[in-house]
Amino acid sequence: MPRPKSRKTVQSVLHLSAEQREALKSIVSLNLTTVSEYLFAVTDVAMKQQADICPLVNQSNGLHGIDEPDHRIGKPCAGWPCIKCAHEHSCKNGDYTGLFEMDAEHQAFLVARGYKAVTTYETVTMTVPITKVEPL
């Protein structure tokens, strides 16, 4: 996901073990992106997901201008898959209501290496923690 053009980005430091750093470099290469773009995309979704359940995080995001609607939040596919999704921008804007579909560029990348992506949609019942932060 390219960074928003309207917002200037600043460098941040992330401390990882040497093994994590090497794995991250490999992962971003497989995702056809850079470390910065990958971490931006994942962090952007995570901050908005947390703001969705916590009024304090929502207020903090708003104070810092991170308040544009993002319709991916709440979808089970939101997060790192957005980088590879054919509907990344239309989904974020609310113009696409479906779930993840791998874009042609990433599919071609896999095919060139002898793989194919098969996405299925399954209804899964499981127990997950649901946390909402509410006023006393």
State how far the alpha carbon of 73 is from the alpha carbons of 19, 42, 60, in Å.
Answer: 31, 12, 17
Q: Of 109, 116, 99, which Cα lies nearest the Cα of 33? A: 109
Give the phi and the psi of residue 108 in degrees, each rounded to 5. Answer: -65, -40
Write out pLDDT tens, residues 18-46. Answer: 999 999 999 999 999 999 999 999 999 99
Does the pLDDT of residue 5 top 90, yes or no? no
Q: Which helix (H) or strand (E) holds 40?
A: helix 35-53
Does the pLDDT of residue 8 top 80, yes or no? no
Write out pLDDT tens, residues 79-110. Answer: 999 999 999 999 999 999 999 999 999 999 99
Of the pLDDT bands very low, low, confident and very high (cuts 50, 70, 90), residue 1 is very low
Of the pLDDT bands very low, low, confident and very high (cuts 50, 70, 90), residue 7 is low
Q: Average pLDDT, whole number, for the chain?
A: 90
Core vs surface per residue 66-83: b (16+ CB within 10 A) or e:
beeebebbebebbbebbb
Within 10 angstroms of residue 106's Cβ, the number of other Cβ atoms is 17
Of the pLDDT bands very low, low, confident and very high (cuts 50, 70, 90), residue 6 is low
Q: Of 5, 38, 41, which Cα lies nearest the Cα of 24? A: 38
Q: What's the distance, Cα to Cα, between the start and end of the chain in Å?
A: 38
Q: How far is CA 80 from the centre of its chain?
A: 4
